[in-house]
Structure 1
Amino acid sequence: MSGTAASASTARTSGPADVDVAVEWYDVTADTIAAAGSSTQVTNSRTWAISWLSAARAVRSGPRQRAFQDAALASAVRTSLVTLLPARTAELDAAFAATLARIPAGPSKDRGVAAGAEEATALLTERTGDGLDPASVNPPYPVPQAAPGVWQPTPPAFGPALQAGTRFARPFLLGRADRFRPGPPPELGSPEYRADLEEVRDYGAANSSARTQAQTDIAQFWLGSSLTIYNGVLRAAVVQSRLPAPRKAELVALFHVALVDTQIATSDSKYTYVSWRPVTALRAADTGHPSIPSDPAWTPLHTTPSHPDYPSGHNTYSGAAEQVLTSLVGSHSREPFELTSPTAPGVTRTYTTWKVLTDENVDARVWSGIHTRSADQAGVTLGRRVASYVLRHAARLFS
């Protein structure tokens, strides 16, 4: 099984020359976004992508000297974060000063600082107005007319639809949000639809007698933000990697570029099919299948997010993350790694393979009562396809 969000203290600290600047600034990025980030996950993914794509470009732009590469990486990430999250300027400047203090003075250091700032400024300009700010991600969305199969606001808050605007944002590489749009969900009344809904009804109910404690624990663990949990996964890959600094920067950049484009594709699919959530289907007078009786009191284990069912956003994220990690570092971590989750305080799970994370995500959303298995599986496939496309065309990011 799986891995942790290790703390900055796990970086090599035996002496100034031994500090891995990629890991150091990975932790700075994570801490900065945790403290002052956006309310929308895709906006935070954008911050990661801009910061680390500019770092990867900067590190590649000069000599293969450690002084240049370390200065360029830190400068690019610092410039990006100060611009995007200015509330953390003092902390970022202190971290930057600490990094620069370890790098020997000289032309390579000076060139690195300049290259990092230049690449970050250029990319920030390039991404201006890309539609990934919170207001653009969450525009007003009219509630569709109620009908079998059609999404409606869900209890208990019955809030407005979220993330409807992400589908109009400008991807980094995908080009079109609908490039890999999956086929439609199972047709109402079909055997597949019945199997989906019965599974969620039985295993995803708050008072389920079918769901085991182990399954409940997995559902609770993966209820946390994908960005938050998978930052621990990616950190483990970076820490354990034997890649040189430029390749580590590229790994972090491509991971988050793929995740931004995946979230854009996810929004496109969700708001194309506008498929109802299990709680709506199971409570409706017409559940969509004659053999499934309505249960107005049915309640999921976890509160249903306020957007359509198909495909599962958690699983598009996990599918894309798995694809990037498998392609760039292999199917396994070099060593077992631990993962924590903000929705399961005090719980640590240990993993060695990326696919297990995906498999648990698929099950977890069913056991939470908030997605059908078809939505989960379609999400994994969509995420993998978007990530594969990003990796195939990655050279465009660096040309």
Structure 2
Amino acid sequence: MSPSRTRPALVALGAAALLTASLAVPQASAADRTPTALAWYDATAETIATAGAPTQVTNSRTWAISWLAAARAVRSVPAGVDRGAYQEAALAGAVHRALVTLTPSRKEQLDATLKETLDAIPDGPAEARGVTAGERQADLVLASRQGDGLDPASVNAPYPVKPAAPGVWQPTPPAHAPAIQYGNRLAEPFLLRTQSQFRLGPPPALDSRRYAADLAEVRAYGAVDSTVRSAHQTGTATFWLGSSLTLYTEPLRVALSRTDQGIAGQARLVALFHVALVDTQIATSDSKYAYERWRPVTAIRTGGIDPDPDWTPLHTTPAHPDYPSGHTTYAGAAQTVLSALVGPRTAPFALTSPTAPGVTRTYTTWKQLSDENVDARVLSGIHTRSADEAGIALGTDVARYVLKNPGRLLAPR
């Protein structure tokens, strides 16, 4: 089977095909075998799709731990062993050990992938020492992240809602569910000095022109019964509705498959991408709960500008504050890492979305993904444009910081 034909299963993470996939590992010739970094990328994606946590940042943590261990393990090669064999074995050993530890229910499948990798590497000291190094780095990263507050219970720590007042977040219809992701702002970052290191300035004042313009835009374009939103715009909102982690798994794989930096560069790319995204999600919740800005549905229904108690957004509003948008902080960080490490442009690649079945969109720059995210959250009726643009800025700041300080992360322990 050609590696390229396995992509649709991983694009729609969590699809039934993954849940029922055979545990057998088909034999392949050396020419057809998926390169080691891509094979373990796919194994990580499949592991999270089938046995991941219910909280996005917890799954980002799994990616970050596994690939940070791999990046450390492949960085230094001992004298006297074959470099390529050692690095392949080290990457496999690191990702396998981390994933089995974090998702033990997938041990059988991960063991099969490890066997396939090692069967393709000549037996000898390079293979043995590589696996040992990878497992050691995984154990060290796992130990360093114990109790970091990114488990699902800690992520969704209880949040005391403030009394209703202009601008203050309140649970949103239809479920009026308790706030989620409050605990992210209390978690331990991978690299940021503090959770608030890049806290945004305040959102637009309620009596400002910018606020009025924001509200007018989302009222018109984000309503479920909007008469001005085009079919294409509705499609954009629906395409980007799902989890950012899911939607960016394929673009990152595209970048991984097209880089010419070798296995060390591939491991570094995935590690820095997900470290940046964990820290971005922590920083996002810090700003969200520092400002506690109400969502458009609350502002339009109960605010002081032409209140409309029947206004309903196109898509259901998530249960956390408006400012900034988490989707766009993710997009800003992802764009920054990918642009820095593989360049801002790439050959056309196709992307599908689990929230828009049957739809394929094609992109040639990472910025196009960010731009669509910004528009999508307004068109869904769940964020203001100020919240979306602030998200891009925050994600960019966090990712730039990670990219400027990789030595603190990647040096083998």
- TM-score w.r.t. the length of structure 1 is 0.95
- Residue 154 of structure 1 aligns with which residue? 172
The corresponding residue for 1:340 is 352
Per the alignment, residue 377 of structure 1 pairs with 389
Of 333, 346, 352, the match for 1:320: 333
- Pick from 304, 308, 313 the counterpart of residue 317 of structure 2: 304
Distance 2:245 2:66 in 1: 15
Name the counterpart of 1:253. Answer: 271
- Give how far 1:175 is off: 1.3
Which residue of structure 1 lines up, in the alignment, with residue 45 of structure 2? 30
Q: Return closer, same or farther for 1:5/1:383 CA change in 2, 3 Å cut-off.
A: farther
1:299 and 1:79 mapped to 2: Cα distance?
47
Secondary structure at 1:276 match in 2: coil
Counterpart in the other structure of 1:101: 119
Matched, 1:386 2:404: no
Q: Say if 2:223 is the partner of 1:205.
A: yes
Secondary structure, in 3 states, of the residue corresponding to 2:7? coil
The answer to whether structure 1 residue 243 and structure 2 residue 244 are counterparts is: no
Task: Identify if the C-alpha distance between structure 1 residues 9 and 151 changes in structure 2 by more than 3 Å, giving closer, same or farther.
Answer: closer
AA matched with 1:338? A
Residue 229, structure 1, aligned to residue 247, structure 2: yes
Q: 1:345 to 1:5 in 2, by over 3 A?
A: farther
| Count of residue pairs brought into register by the alignment | 388
Structure 2 CA distance for aligned equivalents of residues 397 and 50 of structure 1:
11
**Counterpart position of 1:132:** 150
Give the Cα separation in 1 of the matches to 2:239 and 2:9.
22
CA distance in 2 between counterparts of 1:127 and 1:294 reads 47
3-state SS of paired residue (1:6): helix
What is the distance in 2 between the residues matched to 1:8 and 1:221? Answer: 17
1:293 aligns with 306
For residue 112 of structure 1, what is the amino acid of its counterpart? Answer: G
For structure 1, which runs of at least 5 residues remain unmatched after alignment? none
Structure 2: unaligned runs, 5 residues or longer: 12-26
What is the aligned counterpart of 1:16 among 6, 30, 38? 30
Tell me, what secondary structure is at the counterpart of 2:362? strand
1:55 aligns with 2:55: no
Three-state SS of the structure 2 residue aligned to 1:177 is coil
Per-residue deviation, residues 51-84 of structure 1 (Å, max 9, x unmatched): 0000010111324611111110011000000000
2:7: which partner in 1?
6
Query: Does structure 2 conserve the Cα–Cα contact (< 8 Å) formed by 1:336 and 1:351?
Result: yes
Is contact 1:5–1:231 with CA below 8 Å preserved after alignment? Answer: no
Greater relative contact order structure (CA < 8 Å, 6+ sep) = 1
- In 1, Cα distance between equivalents of 2:91 and 2:332: 28
Look up the equivalent residue of 1:398 and give its one-letter code: L
Contact 1:255 1:321 in 2 (8 A): yes
Mapped partners of 1:204, 1:138: distance in 2: 27
Q: Which amino acid aligns with 2:64?
A: A
Matched residues, percent identical?
Answer: 63
Give the AA of the match of 1:302.
H
